Each structure stands twice: as structure tokens, then as C-alpha cells.
Chain A
């Protein structure tokens, strides 16, 4: 487990209450954006996208009575680089889901949207499992810096950041607390 105290220069973008409210709003928008909820399945991008997908699915069930299936997507086998290191990527866990993607609406869920390369990899991975009717994207934070023509269908918070600023999501299931933090550091190397 990592240290729970945020670094000195971190500012809180979203606290626990704000994150809870944001996820509820996103879930309502997801319900609104999908007339046939029975076809919806959520794939959380590992690691932090998975608990977020579970939470969104719970809220969707609470709102509508329909419990969409949830799975995990590693994306590591579809990446276009291995900057983060081949070993560290692997420790995030493996792709796993129990439903057929054919004809479904697949909702990809991730914490931070930046370059868009992870989402490109995720779409390629999903397509290798079949032909979904459509793929949507839900992200808690869009920090800008896109390198591919990709946007989120459901977005919690949008903010422009410089390369020296780093957006970190912390989740109860993994980090023991819910927060979105902005860190300004020059020595911080990119590679989520």
C-alpha cells in the first residue's frame, strides 16, 4: 500500500463528496444515453477504472433496477509503447470479463483521460473479442494533452494541465481514500 498523505504541493481537485456526486451524475447521464440498458456492459480499465466501473454499475442498478455486467480490461497487450516498463504494466492484472461483446454497448471506464493512447488500446482489445454495437467512454477527469482524436462520452471534470502537472486519482478500493489530486512537480516522470 502506498503512503496516504498526499505530497506537499498537491491540490485537491475533487474530494470524497465531490467524487460521489460526480459518479452519480455520470451514472444518470449513462442511463440517459442508453435507451436499451440490457445491452450495456462496463469494462473498467485496470487498475483504477475497474472499481470506478463497479461503482457506476451499482448506481445504475440503484437508479433503474438493471445491473449491467462489469469486467476488467488490461490493455497492456495492445499498447504502442512500454514506457512504464514491461514488468510494472503486468502487475496491474489481466483482462477478464464473462460476457460476449457482440451487439452490446460497451462502456469503457477509466480514471484519467490524457493522451488517449490507453483508450485506443482498449478499443482495439475489445474489437478483438467481437463486434460491439458501439463503444462509449466514461472518465472521471480529462486533463487534456490528447494525442489521438478521442473524447469521453461521460466526463466528471475537465481541466487543462501543463506537462509538469500530474493528475492522480485515489480510490477507497486501492488507496484507502477517494480523491482527485493535482501535483506540480518537475521531477515526476509520466507513465500511469
Chain B
């Protein structure tokens, strides 16, 4: 029987995993299951009134379908009104500063701003000067906190089901992150989140895509896929950014596929109960083979479903959590 705890959310914004405590991460993960249930309702209305009358603004300076859709759906399932601003149609092309654009959005009484921006730290700068709740939906190579949270939630659900223990956490769970670590904000946020939750993280990829001194984050590094997969509970393949192919960071796509693709042959060495994850969008048969992406170990679509619930949990905590009123 869970005991009642006096834990409350007090942050205005969700800017990154870096500043979150383990308790805060667990509060978000523990808040999400009730929202999974809302989306899975078989009858009636798939929404709850927690953000009724609030305005949630999706403000994306980089292309995104999955994350933007997920946030928009999460806001709608909380009964919020939503508005999308695409960078190409915004006044940034006319030279308006981020602060001015946000001040104008806020003049229309927005409550939550979901920001994706190419510059690391952009959401932090805005959060310090504006009253809106800012959620970082990806800032440069820096962080993508809601992705890490939905990934941790998906991993924890898997471990709980596997061990038939509804309170199991990620302590001692072995996670292999495979691919382009250097350019990946998903990898950065995931490493910090998983380490805070007590997981063991192994990074695997070509040395040109591996940040130097990354071991300081408390992770193991290998350039051998078999070594990474061996003993892993979670095999997480990252997207190869094909647009960087010309940068000379790996000799050829064919070589990358041969050495680092997660496919049936590579999984011969995997634990039978290990699961496959990927943040999407997948480059099929490059970082992940089609057989594996669509196979029984894959929880990639569960990640997508869980993403909506995690984003509902985050928005609910930010807006309804106990906080000194502005």
C-alpha cells in the first residue's frame, strides 16, 4: 500500500533533466499512468479538464512532427486551447527577437510555451525573463527532457512487467545507447535521466560521433556493438543524422551499418528479454533493421503513446503544482 507523501511540484518550467532531482523525475513518472488511462478510455471522452481555459503555445523553430503532435495532443487531452507558431511564419524572419516574440504571445495571455530552438539554452533565457511556463522541446544539441522522461517511463514499465514488481525502478538496469551520441540531445538528456534513476549506461558508436571525456557523466563507452548489447536490458538505437553524412564523421554509411546497425544478427548476443527503443524518426535499415524495428522486442510505438501521457503529466505539474503565484 503506497503511503501518502507530501511531495509537491514547485518548478515553473521544465528546461532540462540536468536540474531535476531524482524525486522530481519520479514524481513525473508516477503522475503519468493516470494519463495513459485517459488516452486508453474505451468509452466516453478521452480528455480531462485539468487545463481547461488555458492556452498552450507550440513554438517550433526546427522541424518536428512527432514531438509537436505529441505536445499538441497532450494539451488537448488536458482540455487546453492550443496554438502553433512555426518559425517560418513568425516574425523572427523579420528580425524580431525571441523576447519580443514571446512578450507578444504573452500579451495574448498564454499559459504554457513549448519551445524547440536550434540554440542551446534558448528556453532557459526566456524562462528567466517571462512568466509563462516554458517547456524545452529540444534546444540545439543540449537537452530534450520530455523525450528522456518518456523513455525512462517506457523502460520502467517494461522492467516492472518483466519482474512482476509494480514498484521496481531502474536501479542497476543496463541500458545501451547506440549511435550518434555527439549530436544527440536525446542521448544527453537520457544519460542524465538514467544515471539519476540509478541505471548503468553504456554508450556505443564510432569514435567520431562520441564526445570526448563523456565518461565523466558516469557512463561506459565501447566501440563494439556486441559488447554494448551483451547483457543489456534496454537496447536504445539513436537516429543517424543523415544530413551530417557529408561532414566526414564516418567513412561511409555502409561501414556504419556493418559495425553499428542493430539487426537480427547483432541481437544474437542480446538477453532474450531485452527491448529495443528508438526516439524516431527511424532511418530504416541504417541504424535499425526493419525486422527489429517491427519485431516483438520493439517498444517504439509504446514510446510514442507514453510520450503523450508524460507531456500531460509535465503540463499538469507545471500549471497545477503548488507554487508562489506570480
Interface residues of A (CB under 8 A from B): 1, 74, 76-78, 82, 85-88, 90-96, 100-102, 124, 127-130, 174
A165 to B49, CA, bound (A): 32
Cross-chain contact A124 with B5 (CB below 8 angstroms): no
B309 vs chain A, min Cβ distance (A)? 12
Of B38-46, B157-165, B251-259, the one contacting chain A is B38-46
Of B57-65, B167-175, B317-325, the one contacting chain A is B317-325
A77 to B2, CA, bound (A): 19
Sample of 15 further A-B pairs with CB below 8 A, known A85-B6, A129-B41: A74-B34, A82-B320, A85-B7, A86-B316, A86-B317, A86-B321, A87-B5, A87-B9, A88-B5, A90-B30, A91-B3, A94-B33, A128-B44, A128-B47, A130-B44
Which residues of chain A are near B48, meaning CB under 8 Å?
77-78, 128
Cross-chain contact A86 with B9 (CB below 8 angstroms): yes
At the interface, is chain B mostly helix, strand, loop or mixed? loop
Can you name the residue of chain B whose Cβ is closest to the Cβ of A93? B2
A129 vs chain B, min Cβ distance (A)? 4
Interface residues of B (CB under 8 A from A): 1-9, 27, 30-31, 33-34, 37-38, 41, 43-45, 47-50, 316-317, 320-322
Cross-chain contact B4 with A78 (CB below 8 angstroms): no
Cross-chain contact A90 with B1 (CB below 8 angstroms): no
Can you name the residue of chain B whose Cβ is closest to the Cβ of A92? B4
Cross-chain contact B43 with A87 (CB below 8 angstroms): no
Q: A94-B34, A124-B49 are in contact. Are A88 and B43 (CB under 8 A)?
A: no
A74 to B34, CA, bound (A): 9
A71 vs chain B, min Cβ distance (A)? 12
Most chain A CB within 10 A, of B7, B8, B9, B44, is at B44
Cross-chain contact B44 with A82 (CB below 8 angstroms): no
Which residues of chain A are near B3, meaning CB under 8 Å?
91
A137 to B9, CA, bound (A): 33
Can you name the residue of chain B whose Cβ is closest to the Cβ of A80? B49
